[in-house]
A and B are shown apart, each in its own frame.
Chain A
């Protein structure tokens, strides 16, 4: 007897597909569409990364290598298709990136996965540095500083798919995103996926149940690189340019942040992280020059106060939701949110004043802050912002007590109901 996939899970994936299909109907603007495309690519990349970090316990600082190599191979493939050297449907070009990722994952992973833990992290960093350096040396393939430009409107458009309009590219990315999501999820439910968890938890014990932990890590690495390569291929199609930055250390670091912010302990965590980080990077950078600072602090706050990431925060509330007690937490949460807003308003004002004070403007350093005119050359504004932040800080500590009290209140009830 082979049990069929549960109908609930199938229904879930159909729902995801519908959301993917419906998003462009809600977000019609071109910048929204390109951001959605970017998110889709980031989701694939972050999920593939978590196959290493969350599932196999391998902290890699070089995952962008496989993403980037996939992107370069796809850019060249598109150019060859454009030149008529060979025929290949553009829809499937990301697969070329996947295969490139897989091959390099097998090759480089053979070296890196000999070790786990800190040595693995260091070796992955070394490999990343090496590949990034090669990218600037071998200019025929990597295109040097300028990278490789390409054109996605090549070959005969199958079924009218020319990939000229961004909307078509979005659906291409969404389709691949859905397929790879399902594949990566399914992979966690296979013997290899389970043994990856076992190797993460206790590599020594894995040996004594017949498994070679090095082999398990290597295969997981190769498969993670395969999916990363697909993501890279989509990036090549989306941006029509691939540069050395695509496989650089910053990109590798970025995916670490995505995974941690979202939460590495849950399959869904990196999706949240990828969406949020993409959103922050695009949206925040429109509003403030200091966005990188805010982004870094945000990461710090997550790691310090919720090491399991956002996914863990959500998981923490699942029993509360199941017990129907969510509304008893809400007042204290609203209070904390208000207190936090006051504190952040003061804090952001201070940071923005520092930035504008440092700025090169000659006439006036004053700037508009949520409709308020702030002048960093006048001491009063500094004091004001500092006071607001201090008040906010006190309020946050006060609100924290309400939150813990609310949790203490509902805990016996949850225990009675048997949800925890």
Chain B
């Protein structure tokens, strides 16, 4: 059997003497859509920061398709096929929508730090960029500066930039946070569309979105995963109800 797309072995993280992540074990299979839920302060974002290389782990090991990625720089992890979005929109504000996406495409097309290629003349880059811009429904606004887009548009662009490099493992950090109902529905459609054939791990607070999208769910409480399972299993899990869902279910 092939190695899981993403695997965490007893991952721990402390800031000073405060332990945020207390030994997380998790295996996410290729092609799976996996949601991580949990109360505020449970360490969900920290977990993402550890996986994507923004923070180093204190101990433990993270593997991407069986290769160790813990301890690598974020850009190196990205090149290995793991991309992430951010909870707070994190794009290139003074560049156009098209340029934002193109920056995320360049490395994957092999152009790296080239200063001898004319970027406008790169067909593969142009095709891929236009494809992504269309996928996120921003073709008409492609020349708009990213900093002046509406919040929902910026969130869509954030997802576009995240998947543009063709990563096969995608981490989305609260992709629908701060959105209205209809915006959320659109975002869910977009996420479903763009993660087709990829492995998705997402942190999300909106339970509607979670149960709608996720194949499996992990519940993180105080830096530990207390349960992992299908949406039905999680709904039925007593410990989860007590720790987290109890307040949400009516």
- For A197, the chain B residues whose CB sits under 8 A away are 92, 94-95, 99
A180 CB, min distance to chain B CBs, angstroms: 14
Say yes or no for A262: interface residue by CB 8 A criterion. Answer: no
- For A204, the chain B residues whose CB sits under 8 A away are 90
Cβ–Cβ contact A198 & B116, under 8 A: no
- For A216, the chain B residues whose CB sits under 8 A away are 113
Cβ–Cβ contact B92 & A192, under 8 A: no
Interface residues as binary, A197-219 with B (CB distance below 8 Å gives 1, 0 otherwise) = 11011101111111110011001
Cβ–Cβ contact A190 & B92, under 8 A: no
Say yes or no for B52: interface residue by CB 8 A criterion. Answer: yes
- For A223, the chain B residues whose CB sits under 8 A away are 115
Cβ–Cβ contact B83 & A192, under 8 A: no
Residue picked from A3, A211, A219, most chain B C-beta under 10 Å: A211
Say yes or no for B246: interface residue by CB 8 A criterion. Answer: no
Supposing A205-B91, A207-B78, A212-B73 touch, asked if A195 and B106 sit within 8 A by C-beta, the answer is yes
Say yes or no for B250: interface residue by CB 8 A criterion. Answer: no
Given the complex of chains A and B, what is the CA–CA distance between A212 and B72 in angstroms? 12
- For A208, the chain B residues whose CB sits under 8 A away are 52, 74-75, 78, 83-84, 90, 162
Interface residues as binary, A177-195 with B (CB distance below 8 Å gives 1, 0 otherwise) = 0000000001101111111
Say yes or no for B119: interface residue by CB 8 A criterion. Answer: yes
Say yes or no for A368: interface residue by CB 8 A criterion. Answer: no
Say yes or no for A2: interface residue by CB 8 A criterion. Answer: yes
Say yes or no for A1: interface residue by CB 8 A criterion. Answer: yes
Number of A-B residue pairs at CB separation under 8 A: 102
Interface residues as binary, B110-127 with A (CB distance below 8 Å gives 1, 0 otherwise) = 011111111111110000
Cβ–Cβ contact A190 & B117, under 8 A: yes
Cβ–Cβ contact A190 & B74, under 8 A: no
Cβ–Cβ contact A212 & B75, under 8 A: yes
- For B93, the chain A residues whose CB sits under 8 A away are 201-202
A189 CB, min distance to chain B CBs, angstroms: 6
Given the complex of chains A and B, what is the CA–CA distance between A221 and B90 in angstroms? 25
Given the complex of chains A and B, what is the CA–CA distance between A197 and B91 in angstroms? 12
Supposing A201-B94, A209-B165 touch, asked if A189 and B119 sit within 8 A by C-beta, the answer is yes
Across the interface, A210 reaches (CB within 8 A) one of B75, B99, B102, B117, namely B75
- For A189, the chain B residues whose CB sits under 8 A away are 118-120
- For B102, the chain A residues whose CB sits under 8 A away are 194
B103, closest chain A residue (CB): A198
Cβ–Cβ contact A191 & B73, under 8 A: no
B109, closest chain A residue (CB): A191
A263 CB, min distance to chain B CBs, angstroms: 15
Interface of A is mostly: helix
Query: Size band of the A side of the interface?
Result: 20 to 34
- For A2, the chain B residues whose CB sits under 8 A away are 121, 123
B45 CB, min distance to chain A CBs, angstroms: 14
Tell me the residues in window 145-169 of chain B with beta carbons closer than 8 Å to chain A beta carbons: 161-162, 164-165
Cβ–Cβ contact B91 & A190, under 8 A: no
B101, closest chain A residue (CB): A209
Say yes or no for B237: interface residue by CB 8 A criterion. Answer: no
Query: Size band of the B side of the interface?
Result: 35 or more
Given the complex of chains A and B, what is the CA–CA distance between A200 and B113 in angstroms? 15
Given the complex of chains A and B, what is the CA–CA distance between A189 and B114 in angstroms? 11
A215 CB, min distance to chain B CBs, angstroms: 6
- For A200, the chain B residues whose CB sits under 8 A away are 94
Cβ–Cβ contact A191 & B90, under 8 A: no
Cβ–Cβ contact B74 & A194, under 8 A: no
Given the complex of chains A and B, what is the CA–CA distance between A404 and B73 in angstroms? 51
Say yes or no for B107: interface residue by CB 8 A criterion. Answer: yes
Supposing A201-B92, A223-B115 touch, asked if A211 and B107 sit within 8 A by C-beta, the answer is yes
Cβ–Cβ contact B115 & A205, under 8 A: no
Given the complex of chains A and B, what is the CA–CA distance between A200 and B103 in angstroms? 13
Cβ–Cβ contact A194 & B106, under 8 A: yes
Cβ–Cβ contact A209 & B164, under 8 A: yes
Cβ–Cβ contact B78 & A194, under 8 A: no
Cβ–Cβ contact B103 & A219, under 8 A: no
Say yes or no for B42: interface residue by CB 8 A criterion. Answer: no
B211 CB, min distance to chain A CBs, angstroms: 28
Supposing A207-B73, A207-B74, A210-B107 touch, asked if A194 and B113 sit within 8 A by C-beta, the answer is no
Given the complex of chains A and B, what is the CA–CA distance between A204 and B54 in angstroms? 9
B93, closest chain A residue (CB): A201
Given the complex of chains A and B, what is the CA–CA distance between A200 and B93 in angstroms? 10
Supposing A202-B90, A210-B108 touch, asked if A193 and B115 sit within 8 A by C-beta, the answer is yes
Cβ–Cβ contact A215 & B113, under 8 A: yes
Cβ–Cβ contact B118 & A190, under 8 A: yes
Residue picked from A190, A204, A210, A215, most chain B C-beta under 10 Å: A210
Given the complex of chains A and B, what is the CA–CA distance between A194 and B52 in angstroms? 24
- For A207, the chain B residues whose CB sits under 8 A away are 73-75, 78
Sample of 19 further A-B pairs with CB below 8 A, known A207-B78, A208-B75: A190-B117, A190-B118, A191-B113, A193-B115, A194-B103, A197-B99, A200-B94, A201-B94, A202-B91, A207-B73, A208-B52, A208-B74, A209-B103, A209-B106, A209-B164, A209-B165, A210-B79, A211-B107, A211-B113
A to B CB contacts below 8 Å, 11 in the list: A1-B123, A3-B120, A191-B122, A197-B95, A202-B93, A207-B73, A208-B74, A210-B107, A210-B108, A211-B75, A219-B115
| 8 shortest interchain CB distances as A-B pairs | A210-B107, A209-B104, A207-B74, A192-B115, A201-B92, A191-B111, A210-B78, A198-B103
